[in-house]
Amino acid sequence: MLPAAKPPVSKTAPPPRVLIVDDEPALRELIEEVVGEGVECRVLTASTVAEARKVLTTSTIQLLITDVNLPDGDGTSLLPLLQRLQPTASAIVITGAPSLDRAIHAMREGALDFVPKPFTHEQLLSRARSALDHQAKLDKQQRRFERLKVAVKRLNESRRTISRKVDLLCNDLIVAYGDLSKQLDGVRTQEGFRKFIENSKDLEQLLCHAMDWLLRQLGYANVAVYLTGEDGEFQLGAYMKYTIAGDAPVTDALKRVLLPPTSREGLLHQPAKNFQGQFTPAELTTLKTQDVLGVNCTYLGESLAAILFFRDQRSAFSADDEALLKAISPIFAVALASVVRDSRPQEDDPHFSQGDDTTQDPNTGPRRDPADWWKNGGDSPY
């Protein structure tokens, strides 16, 4: 039975449009009824890939729900077109013959969800609501980005105008330009980190590359990366020693005392001695002189990891270090979510190699990735 209550919709915003693509009239009408009555939206339908392509090129769509097997092709072939024409739109793929390979293919093509048949009304409605919520967040971010581009353009125009005015007005221009420069520096930092880790083949290499890049920016430090497990609890994922070995008493103390405020506040920068009442005497002996900098890495509101840096407080972390760690944390969370979702190698896959951390040079043969120096037992590059 469909729920009677419908989610609230803005009075000023038009209802989202949902395109349902299925060649079975009964199933298409059922999906239309479930979604149309359960969500405040406008429903469009198509029975073939060709009809769906025509709708996508002529109408704005917030959600695509498509079957895989259609009379004139594969429903997943619509996903690249949807991504190109309407990059913030969500997509749900349904099929009566689900498989892991097909699900992974759909996700990589841009599908937000993959629903096997048969499904209940409640399951479909829940997935549709979730997909529309996701689309609304992306659309909001896109509008903010467009407003920022307009603001930057206007700021540049204003700068050229103000530069011809008296020296008193130039002071205001310098302040405004400085703020913009800081924003652009943050974007450059994020893009530099994104490019450095984007070719990570698996979770281990992602952690490896991320720590390597961060240590190049922040300098010598002990690093502990904690990952969120299926039970929602943080588990140690990687540890890098600078002055303090990552023995269980140390990593357990960090998890017990420093992870909760880091997770709660998002960013933590305090001397460890500020928490001396929570450490045992033995733990305090090891950590009391350390300056701690930690960040919580979240994806779509869910905490996926937390990173803790600590070193002697005589070389305390700076405000710039805080800004850098805060800037890259969402990039790391997105990369982590992508690796967990997409990297599922199987032993019968010819590209799968347990523990492989090398690349192939056509002239010299296997070549280790320099970012994996700590895992390979190599010398520190710092």
pLDDT digits (tens, 9 = 90+) for 179-192: 555 566 767 888 98
Question: Residue 227 in 3-state DSSP?
Answer: strand
Confidence class of residue 349 from pLDDT cuts 50, 70 and 90? Answer: very low
In a domain, 263, yes or no: yes
Per the prediction, the chain carries an average pLDDT of 80
| Gap between the Cα atoms of 350 and 204, Å rounded | 19
In a domain, 95, yes or no: yes
Average pLDDT over residues 171-181: 57
CA nearest neighbour of 110 among 50, 45, 64: 64
82-96, 266-280, 292-306: the lowest-pLDDT one: 82-96
* Predicted local confidence at residue 167, as pLDDT: 59
The whole domain housing 210 covers: 201-343
* Predicted local confidence at residue 168, as pLDDT: 61
In a domain, 372, yes or no: no
**Are 77 and 97 in the same domain?**
yes
Domain count, the chain: 3
16-20, 77-81, 98-102, 374-378: the lowest-pLDDT one: 374-378
Confidence class of residue 12 from pLDDT cuts 50, 70 and 90? Answer: low
Q: How far is CA 341 from the centre of its chain?
A: 11
**Are 236 and 168 in the same domain?**
no
* Predicted local confidence at residue 347, as pLDDT: 42
**Are 151 and 230 in the same domain?**
no
Q: Is the CB of residue 333 less than 8 Å from the CB of residue 298?
A: yes
CA nearest neighbour of 214 among 303, 326, 127, 302: 326
**Are 93 and 176 in the same domain?**
no
**pLDDT reading at 289 higher than 50:** yes
**pLDDT reading at 306 higher than 50:** yes
The CATH code of the domain that includes 98 is: 3.40.50.2300
The CATH code of the domain that includes 225 is: 3.30.450.40
| Gap between the Cα atoms of 66 and 46, Å rounded | 9
**Are 89 and 158 in the same domain?**
no
79-88, 182-191, 365-374: the lowest-pLDDT one: 365-374
In a domain, 264, yes or no: yes
In the chain, % of residues over pLDDT 90: 34
| Gap between the Cα atoms of 220 and 206, Å rounded | 20
In a domain, 378, yes or no: no
* Predicted local confidence at residue 350, as pLDDT: 42
Average pLDDT over residues 194-220: 91
In the chain, % of residues over pLDDT 70: 76
In a domain, 94, yes or no: yes
**Are 54 and 22 in the same domain?**
yes
**Are 172 and 207 in the same domain?**
no
* Predicted local confidence at residue 381, as pLDDT: 45
Question: Residue 225 in 3-state DSSP?
Answer: strand
pLDDT tens, residue by residue, 215-259: 999 999 999 999 998 788 899 999 999 999 999 999 999 999 999
Among residues 137, 160, 187, which one ends one of the domains? Answer: 137
Question: Residue 91 in 3-state DSSP?
Answer: strand
* Predicted local confidence at residue 211, as pLDDT: 93
Which range, 84-98, 112-126, 187-201, 343-357, has the best average confidence (pLDDT)? 187-201
Average pLDDT over residues 102-111: 64
In a domain, 350, yes or no: no
In a domain, 52, yes or no: yes
